[in-house]
Amino acid sequence: MPDLSIVCANYYSALTAKTKQRKIFPCHMNEIIAHYAPALLAEGAVHSPPPAMPQATNASVTTTTQSALNRELALLAFNERVLEQARDADVPLLERLRFLCIVSSNLDEFFEIRVAALNEQILFDPNARGADGLTPREVYKLVSERAHDLVRAQYALFNDDLLPALAREGVCFLRRNHWNEAQSEWVREYFMREVYPVLTPIGLDPAHPFPRILNKSLNFAVELEGKDAFGRSSGIAIVQAPRALPRLIRLPAAIAGCDYAFVFLSSIVHAHVETLFAGMQERGWYQFRVTRNSDVEVEDEDMKDLREALKGELRQRHYGDEVRLEVAETCSDKIAGFLRQQFELDQDDVYRVAGPVNLVRLMQIPDWVDRPDLKYRPFIQSVPAQVAKQKDMFKAIRQGDVLLHHPFQSFKPVVDFIRQASEDADVLAIKQTVYRAGHDSELIEALIAAARRGKEITVVVELLARFDEEANINWAARLEDAGAHVVYGIVGYKTHAKMAMVVRREGDLLRRYVHLGTGNYHTRTTKLYTDFGLFTCHEDLCADVNEVFLQLTGLGKAGELLHLWQSPFSLHGNLIKAIEREAAHARAGKPAAIVAKMNALTEPQVIGALYAASQAGVRVDLIIRGVCLLRPGVPGLSESITVRSVVGRFLEHSRIYCFRNDRAYDVYLSSADWMERNLFHRIEVAFPLLDPRLKHRVMREGLRPYLKDNGQAWDMDTDGEYKRRKTRRGPAFRAQEHLLSSLVAR
């Protein structure tokens, strides 16, 4: 009798063979099996295999449609909070523009991943209901309405507030109809020299079908009248803007009329349309942009060489299924309908925008404009005294565990740690995970140098780190060329844990040194994200890290770890146990409290355990930057739970779990959010702070200021809506500003 998972997968593939469904990935099998298994088992067609993965433990209370919220709507709510930063007059003007661009970037990914997945759910089973009680079509309708509202608000802010304010400060975006003679002449010369030679206008007719449109590329639809030299008169043409062309062009100061003057590429091309279609009459010229499904998945049979299989998938990312069409607000109904038909989209998928179709391109403006008074004040990152006084990183770590709090403290000690290990003759081996490192990484260059020196270098590169796949493929190739051992973790489980281990000979001993972090080994983001990192040579912690590396590179059963909580094996179960222990303390009349900080909380059984703890009398304070599907403050369910989100200058990224545990105060740092993907489909670790001094420091810096924040914090109500906290009297307290004033170098 065939295996249940095989039959379900085959049945699913047959059902979706004629649709635009994506490939099956191992992490999707649970939902596929859950949907088709009951009928197939009832028919006796298959047998049910024993579970191959760790299963979630039973929480005391399960979520219901009354207690669950919707993840997609919660993501949009987060972006509404980010948009408020662009509205905030207390935020420097160029930073407000940057926040506006961040919203656009977030929305791009939202459509590429979340809306694309929602479309697949509609195809897969339109009548299925999620934990929130909604069908995929109902969710899509709500998402569409809210996303349209968000986009309208975004462009209204851009046009009515930010553009005039920037113009008053000498930062101007010159519209085509407002160019003076000198500006028009300069633009024409630029067009003929830089733009015209690389444009390929396509007049649509039977010999020129509608072209393939790259994901998120800038394009123009042109309505034309008249006949060309061959007597053709299709009436519609498409012009694709080559990716090599800049979308914003700065005019020379001598003719600009202001300190910083920029012209959009779309305006330049539009102004010279007669050059592209000689003798034809232009009746309309409209920007458009299509967003496509960009999730990358690889089938099991391709896993013989994951890197090569992934290269093929990345090439297809540019042409995935269409999920959104953005068109100029002035676009005629005829052209909008024509484009919608070409991309097989519904009316709700069309977003009319009052400005450039890609605001993300404006993200460069704050870097191009030399106006420090319109930006956040720069600061000098500090270094812990233990490291600053001791240039030898290994000696500093032997003196005691070292904690770094980014971005207030520098990431340089981490780079120094790997560089010194690379150059130290006594270091025998270095092992490290790489999830996101960027295209230019001092740290990986140090690993490459170490490999060339003949050291044993093992790097676990996560090739499926979304939107960083290409950079990671390139790093993997360079590391292999240098002689490093490069592996890609476990198929079906992203390696998201942030770990580095150095093995060093010291006399007759081999000593291990470890760095564990909540954030990526990416030097640029460590200046923008809040994260913690720990250096230690504690033997038991180092032994645990070594065990995880053995799992990632070899084969065998997972051993029991002494201190680390690891997904997919023990992290979820230990979380539930820690929450239930607080509930037991509360029932016994002891003080009980949980304070946790993370990016997202969506896992149903963790939410259920938190509800049960609240009913037992546990005080639960959650600091969740993004998506939270738990409803706080519901009478009889979650009365003692609060949820707040802090959105400010830095992206809140650290994950901290603090359990009072009577008076022990167990504090864990982690790379894992409380989400199903982190707890069951990724390799993650949560590591305890064993040094009481560092434990209290994390509570003092990573938790308490955020509970006190009344300047950048948002409180979530029982309906999942957020209200910005306001001070009643006196100056507002902002956690990030407080940490800047207390931690950065003076």
Catalytic-residue membership of 485: no
pLDDT of 685 reads 97
Q: How far is CA 367 from CA 93, 265, 372, 639, in A?
A: 13, 19, 10, 46
According to CATH, the topology of domain 169-371 is: polyphosphate kinase like (3.30.1840)
pLDDT of 9 reads 43
Which structure tokens are listed for 607? 């939410």
Beta-carbon count within 10 A of 48 CB: 12
Whole-number Å distance between alpha carbons of 165 and 473: 43
Q: At what angle do helices 442-452 and 412-423 cross, to 10 degrees?
A: 10
DSSP output for 106-157: HHHHIIIIIIHHHHHHHHH-TT---TTS--HHHHHHHHHHHHHHHHHHHHHH
According to CATH, the topology of domain 385-559 is: Endonuclease; Chain A (3.30.870)
Q: Does the fold of domain 566-743 match that of domain 385-559?
A: yes
CATH class of the domain whose range is 566-743: alpha beta
Rounded to whole angstroms, the maximal C-alpha distance in the chain is: 90
Whole-number Å distance between alpha carbons of 254 and 264: 19
- Contact at 8 Å (CB) between 349 and 325? yes
- Contact at 8 Å (CB) between 431 and 450? no
Q: Which residues pair with 172 in a beta bridge?
A: 261
Beta strands per DSSP E along 275-377: 281-292, 322-328, 350-353
Alpha-carbon torsion angle 341, 347, 349, 351, nearest 10: 110
**CA 19 to centroid of chain Cα atoms:** 28
Which structure tokens are listed for 492? 């079906």
**Burial grade of 598 (CB within 10 A; 0-12, 13-18, 19 or more):** buried
**Burial grade of 6 (CB within 10 A; 0-12, 13-18, 19 or more):** exposed
pLDDT of 318 reads 55
For strand 485-487 and strand 456-461, is the pairing parallel, antiparallel, or unpaired? parallel
Whole-number Å distance between alpha carbons of 67 and 605: 12
DSSP, res 88: -
Which structure tokens are listed for 604? 């149903």
Q: Which residues of the chain have pLDDT under 70?
A: 1-68, 206-207, 228-234, 296-319, 464-469, 746
Domain boundaries, the chain: 1-52, 169-371, 385-559, 566-743
Q: Which of 405, 406, 496, 681 is catalytic?
A: 496
pLDDT of 6 reads 43
Q: How far is CA 242 from CA 101, 335, 497, 670, in A?
A: 22, 22, 38, 42
